[in-house]
Amino acid sequence: MSIYKLSFKNLKRRKLRSALTMLGIIIGVATLVLLIGAGTGMQSYMKEQTETMMGDISIYNSSGGAFMGSSGDSYLNNKTVSQIKNMSQLYDIKEETQFTTEMNRIPLFVFGINKWDQVKFNGTAGLVIDQSLVDKFGYKIGDEITIKGKKFTVTGITQQSAGMGMGIVYLDVEKAIPLNDYKVTSLTASAKGDPESAKKDVESQVPGTMAMTQSDFTKQIDNMMNGIMLFIGAIASIGLLVGVISIVNIMLVNVTERTREIGVLKAIGFTNREILGSILMEAGLLGFIGALVGLVMAAILLQLGIIFFGPLLGMEEVSLIHMLPPWLVLAVVGGATVLSILAGFYPAWRASRFNVVEALRYD
């Protein structure tokens, strides 16, 4: 005979308390999945893009490259570029350059690129500007803009943005390098053999260079995101912990209110193990159902985030499967259920130890 088929006193009040307890679980799970899911999705997407968009090896000046247009010493000089291009271990070598300048008193970050699949934009390849320049100056495809005294025609517009009041321009590398005084930020290349061996050869044979393989970039992404994920996971887990603690309190109150009923159950033959199992099942169901609802809420919010913010971050191709991998779904639902069962163990153990006579006399 199941404990759920019996009539309990104050059923509506217990249902309300259970609903409020489940709400705590829902909010905790939704917050946890939302934060971890966003980080997981970004990590997965960045790794996929790294694998598909770059060559086997990327080569920079050992000072760290010329990102954001720093001093000329941080670029690869012509001698270095020629030496690398003559290495037999490498082929399909491509140049890239990046620099900062101004346009109409607005800081401008210029990317000279050779693979246009790195950028999501409307229009055609050639010279692509970001939405901030469209908003500030009203530029559209077909308009002319001037960069370092040279005129170019806008061929495309991207939603990607640097923020902080800085505009972005993506330009064919052949046109960008002359604007940057023929300075090369980096080289990408394919390796004829093992990329790790090619990396060592470049760094040993070409002084002042630093090489990175796809594996190196992936490790960097993992190291960076794992630290972030650990931090946000710890913060988000606080909400789930609060929900679990509330289960202990609610189950204790429910057990106290049901003292006489539990006495009746034991009087008609229920064993301590059956009482314990029934109450643990109730606690587990609270956690399980709350986790499912929280998961659905988080999925809806993540999908809305993809729709509204994906284009701004250049991540239109990221999908919900990136953000909600099976391991995260199973871990959250299973973890919330197990924690809820553990939270309900003391109230269940206490109920199973009620003395029948004393329980029947309880008012």
The helix, strand and coil proportions of the chain, stated in percent and rounded to the nearest 5, come to 60, 20, 25
| Contact yes or no for 294/34 (Cβ under 8 A) | no
Q: Cβ of 145: how many Cβ atoms within 10 Å?
A: 19
| pLDDT surpassing 60 at residue 2 | no
Q: In angstroms, what CA-CA distances link 61 with 113, 209, 338?
A: 18, 5, 52
User: What is the tens place of the pLDDT at every residue in 24-39?
Assistant: 788 888 888 888 888 8
Summarize the confidence of residues 282-301 as an average pLDDT. 89
Query: Which of 25-39, 121-135, 219-233, 248-262 is predicted least confidently?
Result: 248-262
Summarize the confidence of residues 207-218 as an average pLDDT. 84
Per-residue model confidence (pLDDT) at position 67: 45
Identify residue 64 by its one-letter amino acid code: G
- Closest to 282 (Cα-Cα) out of 231, 332, 243, 337: 337
Residue 164 or residue 205, greater confidence: 205
Query: Which of 43-52, 116-125, 230-239 is predicted least confidently?
Result: 43-52
| pLDDT surpassing 80 at residue 165 | no
Binned at pLDDT 50, 70 and 90, residue 300 comes out as very high
Residue-averaged pLDDT of the chain: 80
Alpha helices in 206-271 (DSSP H): 214-257, 259-267
Most trustworthy range by pLDDT among 13-17, 131-135, 233-237:
131-135
The pLDDT > 90 percentage for the chain reads: 8
Strands annotated E in the chain: 57-61, 90-103, 106-113, 121-123, 127-130, 144-147, 150-153, 156-158, 167-172, 186-191, 209-213
Per-residue model confidence (pLDDT) at position 118: 73
Give residues with Cβ within 8 angstroms of 356, minimum separation 6.
263, 266, 267
| Contact yes or no for 89/191 (Cβ under 8 A) | yes
Summarize the confidence of residues 130-148 as an average pLDDT. 89
The pTM score is 0.60
| pLDDT surpassing 70 at residue 363 | no
Query: How many Cα atoms sit within 13 Å of 36 on the Cβ side?
Result: 21
Residues 124 and 150: their CA atoms lie apart, in Å, by 20
Give residues with Cβ within 8 angstroms of 287, minimum separation 6.
25, 244, 247, 336, 337, 338, 339, 340, 341, 343
| pLDDT surpassing 60 at residue 8 | no
Binned at pLDDT 50, 70 and 90, residue 127 comes out as very high
